[in-house]
């Protein structure tokens, strides 16, 4: 493995609180005491609009604006690598690590609307007051919802033309116990982050009917590169049967495929060294990361793994092992 000779300045994009918890600790692990980077090197964790930076992250890394970034779900990064969905060409990206995260996209309406399916919205021209990621968020979930609604002959503009409204009510902190989880005048909530306190608070406070996504619509989603998922019966109040939907699981820390192998190796080593601290940020019933980091599972993915990171994992090091690498 080639050594680094000159100082490097590593920029990690971690949009929002959850990914800043990961990237900031990784940065400290790389550039803190006993750093293996060349003298004068730095590692910075940078945040931004969580939805926009999540959706744009693959392009921003591919274009060299950041050295690495986190995005979700895992199939979204696969789309970028394969040039599918919103990506017009394959992007030269590789995985440094994946993180355990169990999420689904959910479609729920208040029972008093009388809506029983996504078809009903179009058939009744229902003036839906809809809580979902708004256009300015540029969120992957918003893009997926638009794709799904389109298969039912629906657009946001249709809903607004019938007297409905796309609400600007998505909370800043999805796990907040005090911030309002939703505009109380809502008729429907279509969103991801299903494991968060927000969904629990909404499901407990309102009588919701959860709607399945039809098989032909999911088949279309699969042609774009999305993956099917199931919301298991009882996962939230109102989920009375297993519901087919789009899976939204998995976080991936990724980089350009030509990132220096030594940097990739040291990133994996830093994650390993800081694994207990990272896992400690995600505890409790509504934890966004759904189990502690396990080094043997950090690359539990069929996405292409960067050779430098793979070299570290292949050595089978633990967080107690000194962060030396092969020369």
Percent of the chain with pLDDT over 70: 95
Backbone φ and ψ for 105, nearest 5 degrees, come out as -85, 130
Domains and CATH numbers, the chain: 9-101+249-315 (3.40.190.10), 106-246 (3.40.190.10)
Closest to 232 in 3D by CA, of 106, 116, 115: 106
Mean pLDDT of the chain: 93
Where are the strands (E) in the chain, listed by range?
A: 9-13, 42-46, 68-71, 93-99, 106-110, 129-131, 165-167, 188-191, 208-210, 228-231, 243-246, 251-256
Q: Tens digit of pLDDT for each residue in 84-111?
A: 999 999 999 999 999 999 999 999 999 9
Beta 93-99 vs 251-256: how paired, if at all? antiparallel
Tell me the pLDDT tens digit for each residue of 126-174: 999 999 999 888 899 999 999 999 999 999 999 999 999 999 999 988 9
Q: Mean pLDDT throughout 8-15?
A: 96
Supply the pLDDT for residue 289: 87
pLDDT, one tens digit per residue, over 174-220 is 989 999 999 999 999 999 999 999 999 999 999 999 999 999 999 99
Which pLDDT does position 297 carry in this prediction? 65
pTM score of the predicted model: 0.92
pLDDT level of residue 300 (50, 70, 90 thresholds): confident
CA-to-CA distance for 121 and 156, rounded, in angstroms? 12
* Pairing of β 68-71 and β 42-46: unpaired
- End-to-end, the C-alpha distance of the chain in Å comes to 5
Partners of residue 171 on adjacent β-strands: none
- Specify burial of residue 98 (Cβ count, 10 A radius: 0-12, 13-18, 19+): buried
Is the per-residue pLDDT at 318 higher than 50? no
pLDDT in tens, 262-271: 999 999 999 9
CA distance 311 to 261: 9
Q: CA-CA distance, 117 to 128, in Å (whole number)? A: 13
Task: Determine the pLDDT at residue 327.
Answer: 33
Distance separating alpha carbons of residues 246 and 191, to the nearest angstrom: 11
pLDDT at residue number 110:
98
As given in the structure block, the two tokens for residue 123 are 């058939």
The band of 323, judged by pLDDT with boundaries at 50, 70 and 90, is: very low
Within 8 A by CB and 6+ apart from 59, the residues are 80, 87, 91
| Residue 257 phi, psi (nearest 5) | -65, -20
Which of 44-48, 60-64, 260-264, 318-322 has the least mean pLDDT?
318-322
Whether residue 35 has pLDDT greater than 70: yes
The C-alpha angle 258, 261, 263, rounded to 5 degrees, equals: 105
Does the N-terminal peptide bond of residue 73 adopt cis geometry, omega within 30 degrees of 0?
Answer: yes
**pLDDT value at 272 more than 80:** yes
């Amino acid at each position: 493995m080639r050594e680094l000779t000159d100082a490097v300045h590593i920029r990690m994009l971690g949009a929002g609180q959850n990914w800043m918890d990961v990237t900031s600790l990784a940065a400290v692990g790389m550039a803190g005491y006993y750093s293996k980077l060349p003298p004068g090197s730095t590692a910075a964790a940078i945040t931004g609009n969580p939805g926009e930076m999540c959706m744009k992250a693959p392009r921003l890394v591919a274009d060299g604006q950041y050295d690495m970034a986190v995005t979700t779900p895992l199939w979204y990064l696969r789309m970028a690598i394969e040039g599918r969905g919103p990506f017009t060409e394959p992007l030269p990206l590789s995985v440094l690590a994946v993180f355990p995260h169990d999420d689904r996209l959910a479609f729920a309406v208040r029972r008093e609307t009388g809506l029983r399916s996504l078809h009903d919205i179009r058939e009744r021209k229902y003036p839906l007051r809809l809580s979902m990621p708004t256009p300015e968020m540029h969120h992957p979930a918003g893009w997926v919802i638009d794709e799904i609604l389109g298969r039912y002959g629906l657009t946001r503009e249709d809903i607004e033309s019938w007297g409905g409204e796309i609400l600007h009510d998505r909370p800043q902190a999805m796990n907040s116990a005090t911030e309002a989880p939703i505009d109380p005048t809502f008729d429907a909530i279509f969103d991801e982050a299903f494991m968060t306190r927000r969904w629990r608070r909404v499901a407990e406070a309102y009588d919701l009917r959860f709607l399945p996504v039809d098989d032909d619509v999911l088949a279309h989603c699969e042609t774009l590169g999305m993956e099917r998922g199931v919301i298991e019966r009882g996962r939230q109040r109102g989920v009375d049967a297993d519901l087919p939907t789009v899976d939204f699981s998995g976080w991936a820390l990724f980089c350009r495929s030509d990132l220096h192998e030594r940097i990739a190796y040291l990133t994996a080593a830093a994650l390993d060294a800081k694994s207990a601290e990272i896992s400690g940020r995600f505890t409790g019933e509504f934890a966004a990361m759904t189990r502690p980091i396990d080094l043997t599972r950090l690359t539990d993915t069929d996405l292409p793994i960067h050779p430098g990171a793979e070299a570290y994992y292949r050595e089978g090091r633990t967080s107690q092992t000194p962060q030396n690498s092969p020369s």
